[in-house]
Amino acid sequence: MKNIIIIGATSAMAEEVAKLYAAEKANLYLIARNTTRLESIINDLTVRGANTVHTSAFDANQFDSHEVLIEQAFETLGYVDVVLIAHGSLPNQELCQNDTTQAIEELNTNGISVISLLTHTANKMELQKKGNITVITSVAGDRGRQSNYVYGAAKGMVSTFLQGLAQRLNKSGVHVLDIKPGFVDTPMTAEFNKGALWAKPDKVAQIIKKRISKKSSFSYTPAFWFIIMTVIKFIPKFVFTRLKL
């Protein structure tokens, strides 16, 4: 029976991951902001087979609550197999350009809060000498684009942080996985018109779970984003700056 902590558990992708573990009778510890929605997720996961579902409310940007939050989750579950950090928000780029409060808030939600939670989690995992830490970042962190570079900067910061963390925790046998989704059809992207590049959250969840169990360190989700992002990263700077991406 696996013990799983999910932070940002009302995210559509996180919820699909939780369903997969619930079907395997896992013990789940869900941390999320919206407690009403958390309520219906508890019932759902219980019907799907979860052994136990614990929950805890949080706001990612209340950094001083993080230590206790992680402490309690580890204490409740005893041993922890997987910690998944999934929360995030897609900023309005234009708003961020004209309002630093907004920009900082978004950098906090998508960047600093994740790093704070990771710091506490990593220290716990290091003591356990086993387990997995998975964070959902984004392909947007690979290269800044005018349409969403505030978001990209935050995600990129987390990805860089995870590279170092993976090296550090490798010695203790802890597996660190950075998941970089491309386009996923979730509430975050409800307004977008969907085309062939879009993936469904349940599909993404299957990929995440598989990579966790195989201790994979491959980030792009689905895998074809590796090709797209390789191309994007190789566009010479003098060309890239003129693009409308």
Partner 1 sequence: MKKMTSWGKYPHIDANISAPLSSHMLANEKRNIIARGLGRSYGDSALSENIIISNRLNHFISFDENTGQLHCEAGVSLHDILMNFVPKGWFLYVTPGTKFVTVGGAIASDVHGKNHHIDGCFSDHVTSLTICIQGEEISCSREENSDLFHATCGGMGLTGIITKATFKLRPITSSYINQKVIKAKNLDTVLELFEQYRDATYSVAWIDCLSTGSNLGRSLLMLGEHACKGELTTHKSGVLNMPCDMPSFLLNKYTIQAFNSAYYNKQVKEELNNTIHYDSFFYPLDGISNWNRMYGKNGFTQYQFVIPKEAGKEGLKEILEAIAESKQGSFLAVLKVFGKGNINYLSFPLEGYTLALDFKLNNKLFALLDRLDLIVRKYKGRIYLSKDVRMSEEMFKASYPHWKKFQVLRKKYGADERYLSLQSKRIGL
Q: Which residues of this protein are in contact with partner 1, per CB under 8 A?
A: 10, 12, 23, 36-37, 40-41, 43-44, 47-49, 187, 190, 193
Q: Which is nearer to partner 1, 190 or 239 (CB)?
A: 190
Nearest to 141 by CA among 119, 114, 166, 171: 114
- Residue 111, contacted partner among partner 1, ligand NAP, none, CB below 5-8 A by kind: none
SS3 5: strand
Binding mask 1-20 for ligand NAP (x = CB under 6 A): -------x-xxxx-------
SS3 9: coil
Binding mask 20-59 for ligand NAP (x = CB under 6 A): ------------xxx--x---------------------x
Whether the bond between 187 and the residue before it is cis, its omega within 30 degrees of 0, is: no
Structure tokens at 55: 């929950």
Write down the least CB distance from residue 154 to ligand NAP, Å: 9
Angle of CA points 64, 65, 70, to nearest 5°: 120
Write down the least CB distance from residue 173 to ligand NAP, Å: 26
Evaluate whether 9 touches 41 at the Cβ level (below 8 Å): yes
By the rule CB under 6 A, 87 interacts with ligand NAP: yes
Distance CA 202, CA 48 (A): 15
Evaluate whether 162 touches 135 at the Cβ level (below 8 Å): yes
Binding residues among 108-167 for ligand NAP as defined by CB under 6 A = 109, 136, 138
β-pairing, 82-85 with 27-32?
unpaired
Contacts with ligand NAP by CB under 6 A: the residue count is: 26
Binding residues among 164-203 for ligand NAP as defined by CB under 6 A = 181, 183-184, 186-189
Evaluate whether 135 touches 114 at the Cβ level (below 8 Å): yes
What residue ranges bind ligand NAP (CB under 6 A)? 8, 10-13, 32-34, 37, 59-61, 86-89, 109, 136, 138, 181, 183-184, 186-189
